[in-house]
Amino acid sequence: MLSRLSPQVPDKIIALMQAYAADPRGDKIDLGVGVYRNADGHTPVMAAVKTAEHRIWQDQTTKTYTGLEGDRAFLDAMAGLVLGQAARDDRRAAIATPGGTGAVRMALDLVRLANPAAQVFVPDPSWPNHAAIIGFLGLARVDYRYYDTVARGVDVAGMLADLGRAGPGDVVLLHGCCHNPTGADLTPADWAEVTAVIAKTGALPMIDIAYQGLGQGVEADAAGLRGLVETLPEALIAASCSKNFGLYRERVGVLMAVTPDAATRDVTQGNLSNLNRQTYAFPPDHGARVVTQILADPDLRAAWQDELDGMRQRVQALRAGLADTLRSRSGSDRFAHIAAQQGMFSLLGASPAQVEQMRAEHGVYMIGDSRINLAGLSEGNIPRVAEAILAAGL
């Protein structure tokens, strides 16, 4: 039977990681893999995480299962972090998931249960796994205009026009903040306009928020999402703790569903818990318990907030440093958008051939669509990256 399987197309990011690892050059630079790195090029364990883990090690008396939905304290803590006061408890269903990817998968599985004929409207461009999961589940995908490659910003008019074609039973996928791969985010006014269009269409918004705290700050990064939830009767929110808590390998995520009333909440919760049961039964708990410890303890939360703020400020400084170096060396402001955008990523606008040239001639690695992870930069390697970008003809 197994001989009937077809080969799968290798994941581009995994392939890039393998190519980078095999490159013997000592001065190679990884701008591809989407993880935060400090000035030493290391992805550290946050100090608040270490403290929380030590407390768990000291105090935890059992490793028995949590509920199918995960630990309720974790779900409530994440609702407070992401939603604030935007949705009452009796409107909110939730499950813990293995990472933000697990939350996206469970959200789309829930959509398939509710309406197999749903069209999922996806920004162009978007995180590649969005389209991959939608296609794997057999749902219809509709791309909507998002990024203007000439203006290097959000194409708000095109986005609103395309979203106006959605209807009841469809889903509109939005990035909560720090858009991946472009770094171009909606303004508060844009969020209000998008919310109004979705309200007219009757579509279901689905917000993927994987970088809260790395754009403008924890509260500001969730403001657009919260305004949408306060206005519309329903929403799905997939959240990740990989980046803002540094818990990449612990796979900490949550899917929240905001419903119009308590009765719908109860039915939705039953479906979400059943999806967990049918997919992996009980979700992982260690990373979720770490997050709960941090968010529940004022001192730990303050320490985490300070460290997260430092991470955000470092990425912003690297953005400015790269933009300034490119401006100085090119005599042009055509790279100013890098400093103006938010989060870990930006699109350079390079062709696949130019991306390959930067890799082959300069050892600068990035995804084929020219998405770069700004956290892969350092003060020392910015000049080399700028040299590679300009030598490639950008």
**Active site residues per annotation:** 127, 208, 210, 243
Q: CB–CB of 58/306 below 8 Å? A: no
Name 175's Cβ contacts closer than 8 Å, sequence gap at least 6.
Answer: 123, 126, 127, 185, 207, 208, 209
Q: What is the DSSP string of 11-29?
A: PHHHHHHHHHHH---TT-E
Extended beta strands in the chain, E state: 29-30, 92-98, 119-124, 140-145, 147-148, 153-154, 171-175, 204-209, 235-240, 252-258, 345-347, 364-365, 371-373
Question: What six digits make up the tokens of 275?
Answer: 């999806």
3-state secondary structure of 86: coil
Q: CB–CB of 179/148 below 8 Å? A: no
Q: CB–CB of 177/206 below 8 Å? A: no
Does the N-terminal peptide bond of residue 284 adopt cis geometry, omega within 30 degrees of 0?
no
The CA distance from 292 to 301, in Å, is 10
3-state secondary structure of 208: strand
Q: What is the CA radius of gyration of the chain?
A: 21
